[in-house]
Structure 1
Amino acid sequence: MKVTTRKAALGGLAMFGAAVLLAGCGSAPEDSGSTDGGEAASDFLPCMVSDAGGFDDKSFNQLGFEGLTAAADELGVEPVTVQSDAETDYAPNLTNLVDQGCNLIVTVGFALASAAGESAEANPDIEYVSIDDTVDLDFDGQTDFDNIKPIIFDTAQAAFLAGYAAADYSKTGIVGTFGGMNFPTVSIFMDGFAQGVEYHNQEKGTNVQVLGWDRAAQDGLFTGGFEANDTARNTAQGLIDQNVDVLLPVGGPIYQSAAAAIRDSGREIAMIGVDADFTQTDPSVADLMLTSILKGIDVGTKEAVLAAGNGEFDNTPFIGTLENEGVGIAPFHDFESKVSSSLQGELDDLKAAIIAGDIKVESYLSASE
């Protein structure tokens, strides 16, 4: 399957990545990994550089790290991991890993795409895995370098199910979403969520509103970053003030700010997680979680690292879908008794219909099929 991207949506990403490369010309940050690059059980050295959220973000960085370490354990090797604390760390961190003799470098997150492409071009003998980006910086529909394997996810399919569930659960008839930055791997959650709400309205005769995302404009409410800070909290509060009772924050740790705003409101507001099952990765918010939109980052990363470690690196993009279980939604957990008794069965039927192609969920990835 040919992977393409929408130029308008990704143009900002290319400019963002270029700025990262220009800014990242200082000395390499300290290695925060588990080894100093010394003698290992084999000659294969798998490595990873995180996005700015850090490896303990309870979300996609953490899932990538778990996939890497699981593969390394199976291979009997010790990986190197380097954490990025800012955008300016990306390029120096990659240089750091190259200098340590890494055979495979996994970059976690679309924001590293430009830096990953630059590093891959300069080091054709090193294999790369790009999580959440195809590294198609010239927009020709193909990954730019043969030594990069993309791991990407058609998250809109799973977000559609979460949106349907949110509309079914909502008592106020208003649900909301906001993101870190308007990049395709963020907005794909928001757009799929809105499509699910629309489908519920169509099938059930409801009129649930979605605040924070405009499908026609392909734009919405964004904090400008992926930090759990006052901006994220105020953004969540703005939606809460408009009477939402389901909230989908998209962008790593920003959910923590949303959770704080929900608790301060004193209202019964459910939250939807992204990437990982937040009930499991962050039990402190379990009582707020209606469900989570899942991406199999850990599984995809483990498989890619194992293949490379066994001399079977394959640069064919992995695209997670409902059909291959690369995406999905988490159980309702504490909300099981709060949702309608028929909802799970309806979601199972919707999933089957999406897989069969009877329901079309739009996304920048599905448009390329």
Structure 2
Amino acid sequence: MSAHRRIVSLALCLLAVSTGCKKEAPAAPSKPTIGLVLGLGGRGDQAFNDSALRGLELWAAGMKYEKAGYVEAAASERQASLGPDLASRGWALTPLGITPMVLQSRVAEDYEPNLQLLAEQHVSLAMGVGFMLENAVETVARRNPSLPFLLVDSPLLDAQGRIITLPNVRTVVFREEEGCFLAGALAGLVTQTGRVGMVGGMKIPLVQRYEAGFRAGVAATNPSATVLVNYTGSFTDFALGKQVGQDLLLKNTDVIFAAAGVDGLGAIQAVKEASDAGKPVYVIGVDSDPSHLAPQAVLSAVVKHVDLVVYEAIREQRQGRLQGGNVSLGLKEGGMGLAPVRLDFPGKAEALSTVEALRARIISGELKVPTQPAPAGTAGANP
């Protein structure tokens, strides 16, 4: 066994509730194990990975992870984590009787061996979080055709960039531009300087859909506003994200959309410090609601319900209904949403009414949100 495998095998014993590593007397039949390989940023990213962990651990397993391991979570705690947009749809979270197994990846080269290790541990479902796991999921899924896989945030692509499917792989993508449109619409209504900013991570098609939706949303409610967008080229550099956020604030932006993973947390910190210093500035997060990080500055967040995708895939697997193929989720399906706007600002009631009306138009199909950004320096086409 390689050193890498020995290290990860030890990690399985420590992280999982039951992996077969303990040498104890036989117990009652164990619950099926569901495996999850996290993307870079890992546990505690306050965004994409934490959302996936919520779906697996808190919702599906009914447990929460603490330093000493897993402890049972109260039903009220599970339901409170659902969020208003999903709670309003009547979702009820029932634990699914599974054991979670979570592997963190320090570098991208860990993805494939971590997924293969899940297969060797005989998990009932192996899940990968993030577009960077696409190649690893395809490779390991072809190697283990009887094991179902879930890939979140990317389809499988061939060498020419065309979408392909495998019978044992469910891929889920999101129409990010729809949620980002609402964020942009809100930013356009809130800004007093007429200048709003966005901190993006890697400049890739996925993140550019965030930019496209955000620009179009600003244009819908404030056509004269200017949108300034800076990409960090990373998702894991807090200090860089903070610096880029500070640079945007120096350019007189008063609403910043932080869409850059851990870099985005740095941008949130930049806005928090400016707000603490008395500046009337706001930030909009992504993936999960970051209000607790800067209660006086976080306006809202574009929520990508990775948690719901993970939970539903596990439920379908438990019911024998999980099938391969590619699924697209947006506002209509509950895959995207906007976190509650808790802060007060002039004209709030009218602004929220406008945003809700735009949301309804997107869901009905009346309003189509662009997926390609408008030229830099403009807010984007007015839909």
Q: What's the TM-score once normalised by structure 2's chain length?
A: 0.79
Q: 2:17 aligns to what?
A: 35
Question: For 1:165-195, what per-residue CA distance to the aligned partner results, in whole angstroms no more than 9, with x for missing partners?
Answer: 1011001110001211122332221211011
Separation of aligned partners in 2, 1:78 and 1:65: 12
For residue 128 of structure 2, what is the amino acid of its counterpart?
Answer: T
Q: Which runs of 5+ in 2 are unaligned?
A: 21-26, 63-94, 373-383
Structure having the higher Rg: 2
Separation of aligned partners in 2, 1:81 and 1:341: 42
Separation of aligned partners in 2, 1:109 and 1:137: 17
Choose from 122, 125, 141 the match for 1:104.
125
Q: 2:115 aligns to what?
A: 94
Separation of aligned partners in 1, 2:220 and 2:28: 53
Separation of aligned partners in 2, 1:178 and 1:41: 49
Separation of aligned partners in 1, 2:338 and 2:238: 27
Matched, 1:307 2:295: no
- Classify the secondary structure of the residue corresponding to 1:55: coil
Separation of aligned partners in 2, 1:97 and 1:103: 9
| Residues 170 and 95 of structure 1, relative CA distance in 2, 3 Å threshold | same
Separation of aligned partners in 2, 1:324 and 1:224: 31
Matched, 1:66 2:54: yes
For residue 217 of structure 2, what is the amino acid of its counterpart?
Answer: G
* Cα displacement (A) at 1:36: 4.8
Contact 2:181 2:213 in 1 (8 A): yes
Separation of aligned partners in 1, 2:28 and 2:149: 20
Contact 1:296 1:320 in 2 (8 A): no
* Cα displacement (A) at 1:141: 4.2
Larger mean Cα displacement after TM superposition, 163-172 or 69-78: 69-78
Larger mean Cα displacement after TM superposition, 35-44 or 286-295: 35-44
Matched, 1:361 2:369: yes
- Classify the secondary structure of the residue corresponding to 2:214: helix
Separation of aligned partners in 2, 1:293 and 1:326: 11
Q: How does 1:193-342 map to 2 (within 5 A)?
A: 193-202=214-223, 207-212=224-229, 221-265=230-274, 266=277, 267-279=279-291, 283-333=292-342, 335-342=343-350
* Cα displacement (A) at 1:56: 1.6
Question: For 1:96-138, what per-residue CA distance to the aligned partner results, in whole angstroms no more than 9, with x for missing partners?
Answer: 2122112211101111111111111111111100110112233
- Classify the secondary structure of the residue corresponding to 1:75: coil
Q: How does 1:139-154 map to 2 (within 5 A)?
A: 139=160, 141-154=162-175
| Residues 26 and 155 of structure 1, relative CA distance in 2, 3 Å threshold | farther
Q: 2:89 aligns to what?
A: none
Contact 2:242 2:270 in 1 (8 A): yes
Contact 1:42 1:76 in 2 (8 A): no
Q: CA RMSD in A?
A: 2.1
* Cα displacement (A) at 1:139: 4.5
Question: For 1:225-265, what per-residue CA distance to the aligned partner results, in whole angstroms no more than 9, with x for missing partners?
Answer: 11243222221121111111011111222222112222443
Choose from 98, 101, 119 the match for 1:80.
101
Contact 1:55 1:61 in 2 (8 A): yes
Question: For 1:250-298, what per-residue CA distance to the aligned partner results, in whole angstroms no more than 9, with x for missing partners?
Answer: 122222211222244332210001011222xxx1322211111011111
Aligned length: 324
Question: For 1:308-365, what per-residue CA distance to the aligned partner results, in whole angstroms no more than 9, with x for missing partners?
Answer: 12222122433221112211111111x234453311111111111112222110227x
Question: For 1:46-65, what per-residue CA distance to the aligned partner results, in whole angstroms no more than 9, with x for missing partners?
Answer: 10000011122111111111
Matched, 1:53 2:49: no
Separation of aligned partners in 2, 1:247 and 1:81: 33
State the 4+ residue runs in structure 1 displaced beyond 3 angstroms. 39-43, 137-144, 336-340
- Classify the secondary structure of the residue corresponding to 1:286: coil
Separation of aligned partners in 2, 1:78 and 1:249: 34
Contact 1:157 1:361 in 2 (8 A): yes
- Classify the secondary structure of the residue corresponding to 2:126: strand
Separation of aligned partners in 1, 2:115 and 2:344: 44
Q: How does 1:114-153 map to 2 (within 5 A)?
A: 114-139=135-160, 141-153=162-174
Contact 1:41 1:76 in 2 (8 A): no
Larger mean Cα displacement after TM superposition, 132-141 or 171-180: 132-141
Separation of aligned partners in 2, 1:339 and 1:130: 41
Q: 1:21 aligns to what?
A: none
Separation of aligned partners in 2, 1:150 and 1:179: 24
Separation of aligned partners in 1, 2:144 and 2:104: 21
Q: 1:168 aligns to what?
A: 189
Q: Which runs of 5+ in 1 are unaligned?
A: 1-24, 213-220, 365-369
